[in-house]
């Protein structure tokens, strides 16, 4: 749908959009994929050394980097026994002709929040293990993702990158900080011993575009621009649904369940890809 961006599209993009619709009639996608196929996925954890965790994801030509930083903070008054998770995504102005620098747009806020919910609701990180002193000091986990090139399906790439970073990153040990709480103002967080991030699940989001009554898995930028509906569904490793977002458009009642089923199958497949890539890279880089 991307209505806001449409008017900024280049002529090239408009022609491509037309092609998507033409080929839909022949049951084909413009890049030759099957309707249920993802594009090639490449996940590189620890691609940036400064933050506590990081990963780069290439999903076709969608190029995204995720960085995760931990800071010491104060828990929210209504959840004194939980660490804090903050997720912020930015579509960099490098990403496409229509992308703009500046404060987060409505669209950037929406995708950040969908990624946040995919992470948070799945319980991938047990926030209660980020507590230093209950009600007083907790770890605050910042997930920042940036889209350097947008060829569609940002959210799936961002969730993949975030989970890959969590699986391979390290965080400052909250127990160590608790034991040295009196010197907290003098501790440099970077010198606190690291422990693995307490990961409990492997959520996978899958995004589907509806074009002419057919679902396109992992839509690219042009497919998104002509989609009648666009939806993300996130599954936990136990096949539970943990986040859904209909971004744009309308679905028939039955189509909702068709989408859920497609998503479930794809999520298992993508989870395997993720785990194989993280395992390779994490031995390579971490040991």
Partner 1 sequence: MPKKEKKNEKVDEFIRPDGRKYDELRPYKIRAHILKNADGSAEIRLGGNWIIAAVYGPKEHFPKFEISQDRAILNCRYHMNPYSTSERKSPKPSRREIELSKVIRNALTQSVILDDFPEMSIDVFIEVAQAEGSTRVASITAASVALADAGIPMRDMVVGCSAGKYNGHIILDVGEIEDKEGEADLPIAIMPNLRKVVLLQMDGKMTHEEFKKAFDLALKGAMQLYEEQLNALKNILESMSTLGEGEINEKK
**Location of structure tokens 């679902």:** 215
Residue closest to 29 by CA, chosen among 163, 186, 216: 216
**Location of structure tokens 């049951």:** 27
CB of 186 to a second copy, least distance (A): 6
CB of 35 to partner 1, least distance (A): 21
Binding-site residue total for a second copy (CB under 8 A)? 6
Question: Does residue 186 bind a second copy (CB under 8 A)?
Answer: yes
Alpha helices in 7-153 (DSSP H): 11-25, 106-122
Binding at 242: pick from partner 1, a second copy, none (beta carbon under 5-8 Å per type): partner 1
Binding at 58: pick from a second copy, partner 1, none (beta carbon under 5-8 Å per type): partner 1
With contact defined as beta carbons under 8 Å apart, do 199 and 124 qualify?
A: yes
Give the list of residues 6+ apart from residue 180 with CB closer than 8 angstroms, or none: 187
With contact defined as beta carbons under 8 Å apart, do 173 and 212 qualify?
A: no
CB of 8 to a second copy, least distance (A): 24
The DSSP bridge partners found for residue 41 are 59
> Cβ closer to partner 1: 14 or 25?
14
> Cβ closer to a second copy: 39 or 137?
137
> Cβ closer to a second copy: 34 or 136?
136
Question: Does residue 191 bind a second copy (CB under 8 A)?
Answer: no
CA 136, distance to chain mean position in Å, is 30
Q: Which of these segments, 50-58, 172-180, 181-189, 274-282, binds a second copy (CB under 8 A)?
A: 181-189
In whole angstroms, what is the distance from residue 246 CA to residue 93 CA? Answer: 25
Question: Does residue 77 bind a second copy (CB under 8 A)?
Answer: yes
CA 125, distance to chain mean position in Å, is 14
Residue closest to 168 by CA, chosen among 28, 286, 4, 13: 286
With contact defined as beta carbons under 8 Å apart, do 222 and 150 qualify?
A: no
In whole angstroms, what is the distance from residue 152 CA to residue 31 CA? Answer: 13
CB of 103 to a second copy, least distance (A): 13
Give the list of residues 6+ apart from residue 194 with CB closer than 8 angstroms, or none: 52, 170, 171, 172, 173
Binding at 19: pick from partner 1, a second copy, none (beta carbon under 5-8 Å per type): none
> Cβ closer to a second copy: 7 or 186?
186
What residues line the site for partner 1 (CB under 8 A)?
Answer: 42, 47-51, 54, 58, 61, 63, 65-69, 71, 78, 88, 90, 92-97, 101, 103-104, 106-107, 109-110, 112-113, 117, 121-123, 142, 144, 146, 148-151, 190, 221, 231, 236, 239-253, 255-257, 260-261, 264
Question: Does residue 188 bind a second copy (CB under 8 A)?
Answer: yes
> Cβ closer to a second copy: 191 or 239?
191
Centre a 10 Å sphere on the Cβ of residue 274 and count the other Cβ atoms it contains.
21
Question: Does residue 185 bind a second copy (CB under 8 A)?
Answer: yes
- Would you tell me which residues interact with a second copy (CB under 8 A)? 77, 135-136, 185-186, 188
């Amino acid at each position: 749908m991307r209505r806001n961006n449409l008017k900024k599209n280049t002529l090239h993009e408009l022609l491509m959009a037309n092609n998507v619709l033409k080929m839909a009639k022949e049951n084909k996608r413009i890049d030759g994929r099957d309707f249920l196929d993802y594009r090639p996925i490449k996940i590189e954890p620890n691609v940036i050394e400064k933050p506590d965790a990081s990963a780069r994801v290439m999903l076709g030509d969608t190029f995204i980097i995720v960085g995760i930083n931990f800071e010491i903070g104060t828990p929210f008054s209504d959840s004194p026994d939980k660490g804090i998770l903050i997720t912020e995504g930015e579509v960099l102005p490098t990403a496409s002709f229509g992308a703009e620098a500046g404060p987060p747009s409505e669209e950037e806020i929406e995708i950040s929040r969908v990624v946040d919910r995919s992470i948070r609701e799945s319980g991938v990180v047990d926030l209660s293990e980020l507590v230093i002193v209950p009600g007083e000091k907790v770890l605050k986990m910042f997930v920042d993702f940036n889209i350097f090139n947008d060829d569609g399906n940002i959210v799936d790439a961002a969730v993949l990158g975030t989970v890959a970073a969590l699986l391979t990153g390290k965080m400052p040990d909250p127990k160590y900080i608790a034991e040295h709480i009196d010197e907290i103002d003098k501790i440099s967080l970077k010198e606190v011993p690291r422990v693995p991030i307490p990961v409990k699940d492997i959520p996978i989001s899958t995004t589907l575009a509806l074009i002419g009554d057919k679902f396109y898995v992992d839509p690219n930028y042009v497919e998104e621009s002509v989609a009648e509906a666009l939806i993300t569904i996130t599954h936990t490793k136990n096949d539970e649904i943990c986040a859904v977002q209909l971004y744009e458009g309308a679905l028939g009642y039955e189509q909702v369940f068709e989408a859920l089923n497609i998503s479930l199958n794809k999520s298992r497949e993508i989870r395997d890809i993720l785990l194989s890539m993280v395992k390779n890279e994490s031995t390579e880089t971490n040991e």
